[in-house]
Amino acid sequence: MSLLCLDIGNSRTKAGIFEGDDLREVRSFSSREIVDKVGQLLNGSIEAAVVSSVVPSVIEVMMKEFKKHGVPEVILVRHTTTGRLKLKIKNPETLGPDRLSEAVGAYEMAGTTSVVIDAGTATTTTIVDADGNLIGGTIMPGIEMMLRCLHEKTAALPQVEPFSWERPFGIDTKSSIMAGVLYSTLGLLEKVIEEVHRMYGQPVVFLTGGRAEVLRPYMRDAVYEPYLTLLGMKAIYERRHR
């Protein structure tokens, strides 16, 4: 069967088409183009869709589009569609569907204590224990956000594009900025992993998100999975049908 998974963000949308267990195709495009782009994918062969979005107006538009193209089943990722996970957090309805999908995907793959690191606009961690309880996480400014803030909130610091830097200190202004941003991010992530290990045992660490490549050289033990959100959405669909 053909399953369409849509991860809809405020600015970008990622679409993945699964044929059985195979991720056959992945497309990324502006969320402003979502109706046209998804319409091209709905060619009659899509038998079901899973949608993750925090924008209610987009969900309404897409539901009409699915109905128009005769997609028989659509699942919206919500705090009530958690696969094997149990949400042991306050106000679970406020958990982002992207983080929920990633946590589901990580636990399906690892089957044990997991830490999911998503390096995007924000850098987030989501923690699942060995029993499948989603127990919390952290949210901090993403790498680009920190770099932009340093430039915009000071008179003399330049705008710096993210790049890898192997020393914990810089040798000029740009490398000093990058070292500060990079190693503050790595320091928080290492502390989270250390505390999870102390409290729940050795975790499997997953790394995903648009800026994961910047962190990847420094986190060689992490499982790099750029499509973790889509894989989690597929797992949510499969759990619904077991």
Distance between CA atoms of residues 120 and 195, nearest Å: 23
Q: Among 38, 58, 76, which residue terminates a domain?
A: 76
**Residue 17 falls inside a structural domain:** yes
* 126, 197: one domain: yes
Query: pLDDT at position 11, please?
Result: 81
Query: pLDDT at position 224, please?
Result: 98
Q: At what angle do helices 34-41 and 56-68 cross, to 10 degrees?
A: 30
Looking at the 3D structure of the chain, how many domains does it have?
Answer: 2
Both tokens of residue 8?
A: 């809809």
Which stretches of the chain drop beneath a pLDDT of 70? Answer: 44
Residue 172 bears catalytic tag: no
| Edge-to-edge strand ranges of the sheet holding 2-8 | 22-30, 12-19, 2-8, 48-53, 74-76
* 101, 193: one domain: yes
Contact 161, 211 (CB under 8 A): no
**Residue 240 falls inside a structural domain:** no
Q: Among 51, 76, 101, which residue terminates a domain?
A: 76
CATH of the domain at 46: 3.30.420.40
Residues 6+ apart with CB under 8 A from 17: 2, 3, 4, 5, 23, 24, 25, 26, 41, 46
Other Cβ atoms closer than 10 A to 10: 11
Q: pLDDT, tens digit, for every residue of 105-114?
A: 999 999 999 9
Query: pLDDT at position 196, please?
Result: 98
Among 7, 98, 118, 129, the active-site one is: 98
Query: pLDDT at position 192, please?
Result: 98
pTM for this predicted structure? 0.92
Query: pLDDT at position 39, please?
Result: 87
Cα torsion through 193, 197, 198, 200, rounded to 10: 120
* 150, 214: one domain: yes
Task: Determine the structural domain holding residue 31 and report its residue range.
Answer: 2-76
* 91, 113: one domain: yes
Beta bridge partner(s), residue 116: 126, 206
